[in-house]
Chain A
């Protein structure tokens, strides 16, 4: 693919995201009229005298924060999935490879059972996710075996162990309050987003995305194989370490505010590769925009299609699983 076509595609995706932002802002259970949004914006800018305070509060305190957080979470999970898949040379790897989601779930469940506030819950989920990564990366060091496979296996060990801890917590949790909260958290939702989450996760998003973009050509070399990377003078362990830290920070930050959300980090990078190829200098920006767009659409559906709030993992599963099957089918037919 030539450079100008890639730029056109990225521009098109960005425009789609921009349009989706305004469409999503106009949709909701209270009102689906875009003119209501326009009136609020105009009155805020001083062009319109009639002020609908309810609609204003809905737009600024409910829809806007939720849309921005959805965009950030989608971008973070997709980016994390793309670089994990690149570094581990395995397209079937998702962002919770090193047990981030299980660790975050244990952290959130502990906070729920201790009666912590929403903010404390988010902090504990974040710390739980990072603790899981710390454990997963410590096991290979313990065995003095630092190859990729060992890291993947230790991720499975840590995830399995944390899942059992979570199961114990669910078993002893109070059924009507704590258990219901843990289960709902695990299915993912943006319904409790207040706005302060944007301030909490944006620095992580910006710093990690920038770092990964700067490292993107090195990730390309890593994805060729360790031998090739060494020949080209790349410090494999250092680069891989930085990528793992960035991807883990991205995933832990995302799940700490939204709960665990499946499929995004697995499917979107695949879709990105079909669109722009395996070059990470192009794949990273494309995946960020596509992930943001995907999650924005999913969350808009979650809050609008029914009176009842639909958990995000249900929708990402319904959309993501068939999409993934289609992508695999397409790749197979292309290979033939």
Chain B
């Protein structure tokens, strides 16, 4: 009798274990470790995401082909040219805040199930968690190609879009490899100065992704002696004369133009100005110089700009069409992209 009871008891325990384990299989629990080492458990892939940092949120836009996932936005102007074309009712999309300032009631009203933030806004983690929302820190402060890989892989898992993330990543790797192959044949590297958009005296230091972009394209960042900052820094014109770059790139959305610098006598002794080697980095529909998948296009344009005979503008346009077709199923004219 006792043996029979014990057998029945063990059977119940076994059944309970089997039932519970089957439940966890059914719920497809996703365990993620974000870029600051936090473990985030999602019961199922996220459907609606929010965020205010454009490069961070861009990974979700890319993975959803623009038409999925995005429920709340921050700065809506930076990539308006692209997003208006690929996100349905972009103007009607809720703005939940700007930069580090978020209205959490607006966030909750969107019905989103995941917030995506960069490491620089990591103090928002607690606030999101307090209102009961899952949050992933998806973009580290340190910018590199690995940053983009890490961000796309992480969000691919969170959104249940791992295959698509791998597809886009293999395209990015392929373009990097192609640019490296071309630039490896170049013996003399041009010194490139990458200027910021807010001021012609702000420059991209070594820790920014622009440095890696210049390297891959077969150039060399003209900026030296400024360490440890992942943002554009203000310098004075004498410092720029000292670096004496061969080529100057500035974002197309900058508050100044190439003519402003070409006509400014303070800049006249710089090699790039004397040879009129100053170019707007294409960013008319979206920035191609930020840690996002579109950096693949920045690499293609940069390679052409430094070695036009080795990589033609037609090859760049082919890359651009291929990328936008792959990610969003759409193509843009060279004029709309701001490519001369």
Interface residues of A (CB under 8 A from B): 28-30, 53-54, 57-58, 61-63, 112, 115, 117, 171, 174-181, 184, 189, 191-192, 194, 303, 307-309, 311
**Chain A nearest Cβ from B112, distance in angstroms:** 22
Point out the residues of chain A lying under 8 angstroms from B254, CB to CB. 177
Point out the residues of chain B lying under 8 angstroms from A180, CB to CB. 196-199, 202, 232
Q: Residues 208-245 of chain B: 1 if any A CB is under 8 Å from the residue's CB, otherwise 0?
A: 00000000000000000110000011111111011000
**Cβ contact within 8 Å between A184 and B98:** no
Point out the residues of chain B lying under 8 angstroms from A194, CB to CB. 264-266
**Cβ contact within 8 Å between A175 and B75:** yes
Q: Residues 267-282 of chain B: 1 if any A CB is under 8 Å from the residue's CB, otherwise 0?
A: 0110000000000000
The chain B residue sitting closest to A171, CB to CB, is B98
Complex Cα gap A62–B235 (Å): 13
Q: Which residue of the partner chain, among A54, A61, A175, contacts B99 with CB atoms under 8 Å?
A: A175
**Cβ contact within 8 Å between B197 and A177:** yes
Q: Which residue of the partner chain, among B77, B201, B226, contacts A192 with CB atoms under 8 Å?
A: B201
Q: Which residue of the partner chain, among A29, A57, A61, A184, contacts B236 with CB atoms under 8 Å?
A: A29
Complex Cα gap A335–B98 (Å): 53
Interface of A (DSSP majority class): helix
**Cβ contact within 8 Å between A308 and B238:** no
Within 108-154 of B, Cβ neighbours of A (below 8 Å) are at none
**Cβ contact within 8 Å between A308 and B266:** no
Within 176-203 of B, Cβ neighbours of A (below 8 Å) are at 196-199, 201-202
**Cβ contact within 8 Å between A53 and B239:** no
**Cβ contact within 8 Å between B265 and A61:** yes
**Cβ contact within 8 Å between A54 and B201:** no
* Residue B170 at the chain A interface, CB threshold 8 Å: no
**Cβ contact within 8 Å between B269 and A54:** yes
Complex Cα gap A166–B264 (Å): 30
| 12 interchain pairs, CB-CB under 8 A | A54-B269, A57-B241, A61-B265, A61-B268, A62-B266, A174-B78, A177-B255, A180-B202, A184-B199, A307-B239, A308-B233, A309-B239
Point out the residues of chain A lying under 8 angstroms from B237, CB to CB. 62, 191
**Cβ contact within 8 Å between A177 and B253:** yes
Complex Cα gap A30–B241 (Å): 7
The chain A residue sitting closest to B198, CB to CB, is A180
Q: Which residue of the partner chain, among A63, A181, A191, A303, contacts B255 with CB atoms under 8 Å?
A: A181
A307 and B266 in contact, given A29-B242, A62-B237, A191-B236 (Cβ under 8 angstroms): no
**Cβ contact within 8 Å between A181 and B226:** no
Q: Which residue of the partner chain, among B77, B233, B235, B238, contacts A174 with CB atoms under 8 Å?
A: B77
